[in-house]
């Protein structure tokens, strides 16, 4: 039996100003900067060289590792450089720079109209070759998700249409404009993992999307649209499973441990396009929003397009813009400048002005317990942060720091403005680094 809601969470407000803005296709830039790190797992290495001519959708980066995803050119043109360039996670990364010839000569064609011609392994191979990763921002290689071990049978595939982050509306628009592709993608995933039950989960503040998706699956006996309470982080994988199935993913576990696979609506569309049109993952829908941007909206943007060009396409930013965030305000990454490329995991660009950005002095914990009440995975964020501050990482690990989903509820709710999720993120990084050494 499905649960009514999950434990904890917060209500940070919606601010979804672009809900009514249909997706517009942004023109391809004259030059793209495509990083070789766009997914969880092994980064890619270039399979092209400076001076090579490439086509739209041509593979330009690859890896022999199973947990990786190939990278494709988002324009046709010439490779003019392979260099270290700004990456939105806050470092320099190996990047292929391609100058567009404006022709968009494609390297792909064909596809399948029906899943009847394809086996489970065929679908996984297509998804892998297309370089599809989690489009909700997690960027986990999708073919890996679709390949659970034999002792982990899947009985439920969940499509995540919650889009609980404030400001972002790209998933909402895709459910209105590309619903058929989402259903085809869901069926493809179900066939890939040999599963007979599909769920499309949507928060109750997206009534038009709920109606559209229900209409599209009304004759599908094994697919259900489930409506969830609007609450952050409803779209987190483990919370979505709890609400949809009543099951709890165990500490340190994965969705497959409770018979589930979860994918974002954008990922389902990418899978549909890969199967139907043989199209690799080289573009995505991005919400460009916030009081700092002059003309907000939802745009289909080529991977490798600089954020500065995206903002310029939106009539620029206001003079009092103080912060640029890749993603939403709760889990997004602040950027030091707009000179970074859109990647496969870029769901939004959020521009905030001095009216929304406030700086607070961190004060000592007052043991109010609000961070504990809000934590959706039942952690003690105050204690983990305390251990991290005092370099007691073993105790931070004992308090299950690695289970943190980094939703930011604890930092949002803390009355003394302690950067709790940042401390926990630091602990996770150091614990994982220690494990790799051992």
Query: Annotated binding site for [4Fe-4S] cluster, which residues?
Result: 365, 368, 371, 375, 404, 407, 410, 414
Annotated binding site: 365, 368, 371, 375, 404, 407, 410, 414
Distant-in-sequence, close-in-space partners of 310: CB < 8 Å, separation ≥ 6: 26, 286, 288, 299, 301, 342, 349
Asked if 139 and 38 count as a contact pair (C-beta separation under 8 A), the reply is yes
Beta-carbon contacts of residue 430 (< 8 Å; ≥ 6 apart): 393
CA neighbor of 342 nearest in space, from 327, 323, 321: 327
CB atoms within 10 A of CB 44: 25
Instruction: Compute CA distances 52 → 80, 211, 304, whole Å.
Output: 8, 48, 18
Helix (H, G, I), strand (E, B) or coil at 12: coil
User: Are 202 and 175 a contacting pair, CB within 8 Å?
Assistant: yes
Own/partner pairs, 216-219, CB within 8 angstroms, 24+ separation: 216/179, 216/180, 216/182, 216/183, 217/183
User: Does 233 sit behind a cis peptide bond, omega within 30 degrees of 0 on the bond before it?
Assistant: yes
């Amino acid at each position: 039996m499905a649960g009514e809601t999950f434990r904890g969470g917060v209500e940070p407000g919606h601010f979804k100003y672009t809900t009514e803005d249909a997706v517009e296709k942004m023109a391809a830039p004259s030059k793209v900067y495509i990083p070789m790190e766009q997914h969880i797992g092994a980064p890619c290495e270039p399979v092209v060289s400076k001076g090579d001519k490439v086509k739209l959708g041509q593979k330009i980066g690859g890896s022999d590792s199973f947990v990786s995803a190939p990278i494709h050119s988002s324009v046709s043109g010439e490779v003019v450089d392979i260099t270290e360039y700004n990456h939105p996670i806050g470092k320099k990364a190996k990047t292929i720079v391609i100058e567009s010839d404006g022709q968009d000569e494609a390297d792909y064609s064909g596809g399948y109209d029906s899943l009847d011609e394809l086996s489970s392994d065929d679908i996984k191979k297509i998804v892998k070759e297309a370089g599809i990763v989690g489009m909700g921002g997690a960027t986990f290689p999708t073919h890996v998700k679709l390949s659970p071990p034999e002792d982990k049978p899947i009985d439920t595939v969940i499509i995540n249409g919650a889009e609980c982050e404030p400001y972002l509306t790209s998933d909402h628009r895709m459910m209105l404009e590309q619903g058929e592709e989402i259903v085809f993608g869901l069926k493809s995933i179900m066939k890939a993992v040999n599963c007979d039950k599909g769920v499309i989960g949507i928060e109750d503040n997206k009534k038009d999307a709920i109606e559209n998706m229900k209409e599209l699956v009304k004759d599908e006996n094994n697919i259900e649209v489930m409506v969830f309470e609007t609450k952050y982080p409803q779209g987190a994988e483990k919370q979505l499973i709890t609400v949809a199935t009543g099951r709890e993913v165990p500490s340190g576990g994965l969705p497959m441990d409770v018979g589930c696979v979860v994918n974002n609506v954008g990922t389902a569309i990418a899978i549909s396009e890969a199967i139907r049109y043989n199209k690799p993952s080289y573009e995505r829908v991005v919400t460009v929003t916030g009081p700092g941007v002059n003309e907000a909206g939802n745009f289909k943007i080529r991977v490798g397009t600089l954020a500065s060009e995206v903002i310029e396409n939106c009539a620029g930013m206001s003079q009092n813009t103080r912060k640029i965030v890749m993603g939403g305000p709760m889990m997004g990454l602040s950027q030091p400048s707009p000179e970074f490329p859109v990647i496969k995991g870029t769901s939004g660009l959020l521009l905030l002005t001095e009216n929304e950005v406030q700086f607070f002095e961190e004060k000592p914990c007052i043991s109010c317990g609000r961070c504990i009440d809000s934590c959706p995975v039942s952690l003690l964020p105050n204690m983990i942060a305390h251990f991290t501050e005092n370099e007691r990482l073993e105790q931070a690990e004992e308090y299950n720091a690695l289970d943190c989903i980094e939703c930011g509820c604890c930092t949002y709710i803390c009355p003394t403005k302690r950067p709790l999720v940042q401390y926990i993120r630091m602990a996770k990084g150091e614990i994982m680094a220690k494990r790799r050494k051992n």
